[in-house]
Amino acid sequence: MVHVDDGSGLGWNGMQGLHLTADLYGCQCDGALLTDASLLERLCRTSVDAAGLTVVDEKFFTFPDYQGGPGGVTGAVLLAESHLAVHTWPERSGVTLDVYVCNFSTDNSAKAEKLLDDLIIAFSPRQQGTNRILRGSEDPVSQSGELLLEWLNEDSAYGFRAARRIETVRTPYQTLEVFETPQWGRLFRLDGCYMTSERDEFYYHEAITHPAAIAHPKPASALVIGGGDGGSSEELLKHPSITRVVMAELDAEVVRVARKHLGKVHRGAFDDPRLQVRIGDGWALVETMAKEGNERFDLVVLDLTDPDTPAHRLYTPDFFRLLKRVMNPGAAVMLHIGSPVYKPDLVRRLLADLSTVFAIVRPLGLYVPLYGAYWGMCCASDTLDPLALEPRIAEQRIADRGIADLRYYNGDIHRALFALPNFFRELVPARSADRAAQALAHAVR
């Protein structure tokens, strides 16, 4: 490990690096390689040299025989760049490998990858499992260089590099994080899941609002449940007929953080007198509205965390039925339903649940860069059918309403959003799929 004095005596900069691990099973190499320390030592040294890394010292040890069979070998090669560790289990024809390199003076990642690959080839396993971990930060205070990973399901993850961590807040409900990132500018996470970013927010926010808002001939009022970053409300407020948007956000800290750090997402929507922010539980708020009977909406947007988070109560038939009690005739609800690629069963269930409550259920899909996936959304109503709106009419309504700053949505996109690939169609209940086909045929005529 190369340690550099940064004036603090901590040598922080040398910590940033790449850590690779591999678990090898059923190795088909010469059996002596798993039991002879000298053979294993020569293999490791040769592989380290071939990768262009620098040996500082090494130590290998052979364990005594075990239950009538040879013992395994454990060894470590100390590198100027960090280390290589290897352990063998001859009784299982197994090997574990650990390669870590720091990247202070130069990026040694490719050398580490080559070293691990060469060793895996030498052991020739029938099966293997590998992990790739980015270690340390360029700056331990700001967490510069931090890799932000999110899991799409148990088997798939993706991520982005952070330039610095701006704020982290633990509230009674969740953990909020704001980062500065090279790819997306300011990025907002809740409980480790990406919510929005400055540079890609328009994909999600335009798609979850305008298909219903444009299909409605003259929306005057809207209810946003969640959406504390202000992005959905900002899109709804672009429609000149909108006189009131009520945002029901559970966590006041989300609104505070958005106001402070995410101005390029909400674009001043919080200062628009037409927006009313109500802090509290969305279910309780809608229930109160339904009982009192004095508030009704033309549009409802469920801008919530994912359907498999603590917000799951707001993705149920009971809540959908409750929503109908605060929706005007001709109203529609928009919501996101997760990725049909990574969570098809969840998408299928939500579409089925929506179909038990609403007469018209129109799923739509688009690729959302921040979410790393093709993403599903849905428009549901008893009377408003966005699929029946022709592209030219959608385009005309955009022009008539003076909405000039859209980056994703337009008349052609309106129709394209509802054009589902076959694998997505298979998740749609038969009754909804038949109605969608009929609506599309009518619109084309």
303 counts as catalytic? yes
**Distance, CA of 282 to CA of 47 (rounded, Å):** 59
- The catalytic residue among 200, 251, 298, 303 is 303
- Contact of 443 with 392, CB cutoff 8 Å: no
Supply the DSSP symbol for 65. P
**Distance, CA of 367 to CA of 200 (rounded, Å):** 11
Q: In what order do the strands lie in the sheet with 127-135?
A: 55-62, 73-79, 82-89, 94-102, 17-25, 127-135
Supply the DSSP symbol for 134. E
**Distance, CA of 103 to CA of 101 (rounded, Å):** 7
Q: And the tokens for 211?
A: 């298909």
Q: Is 63 exposed, middle or buried (0-12, 13-18, 19+ CB in 10 A)?
A: middle
Residue with tokens 């009704």: 296
**Distance, CA of 223 to CA of 236 (rounded, Å):** 10
Chain CA centroid to CA 68, Å: 51
Helix 430-444 crosses helix 344-355 at what angle (to 10 degrees)? Answer: 80
Nearest to 381 by CA among 298, 285, 287, 291: 298
Of all helices (H) and strands (E), which one includes residue 443?
A: helix 430-444
Supply the DSSP symbol for 103. -
Supply the DSSP symbol for 308. T
Active-site residue set: 303
